[in-house]
């Protein structure tokens, strides 16, 4: 399982980049989930950047992708 793309990204990215708050369109791409699903199911990870903009930490979005690819339910 260490050969999957998420594990390679986590190893190759700097800690600072992993902690960066990415805008929602980027989070959609990183997690392979829609922005609406991210807001509804992972509200604890979503950060308000301004009145209309939201984002999420890069590491959280990547970990959600890993969870969604291993979830068989």
How confident is the model at residue 69, as a pLDDT?
A: 62
pLDDT in tens, 42-65: 999 999 999 999 999 999 999 998
Residue-wise pLDDT for 1-32, tens only, equals 456 778 888 889 999 999 999 999 999 999 99
pLDDT for the residue numbered 4: 77
pLDDT at 68: 64
Could you write out the DSSP letters of every residue in the chain? -TTSHHHHHHHHS-HHHHHSEEEHHHHHHHHTS-HHHHHHH-GGGEEE-SSS-EEEEHHHHHHHHHHHHH---
């Amino acid at each position: 399982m260490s050969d999957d793309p998420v594990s390679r990204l986590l190893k190759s990215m700097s800690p600072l980049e992993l902690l960066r708050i990415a805008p929602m369109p980027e989070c959609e791409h990183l997690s392979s989930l829609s922005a609406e699903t991210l807001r509804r199911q992972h509200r604890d990870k979503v950060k308000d950047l301004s009145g209309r903009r939201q984002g999420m930490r890069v590491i959280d979005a990547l970990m959600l992708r890993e969870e969604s690819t291993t979830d068989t339910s």
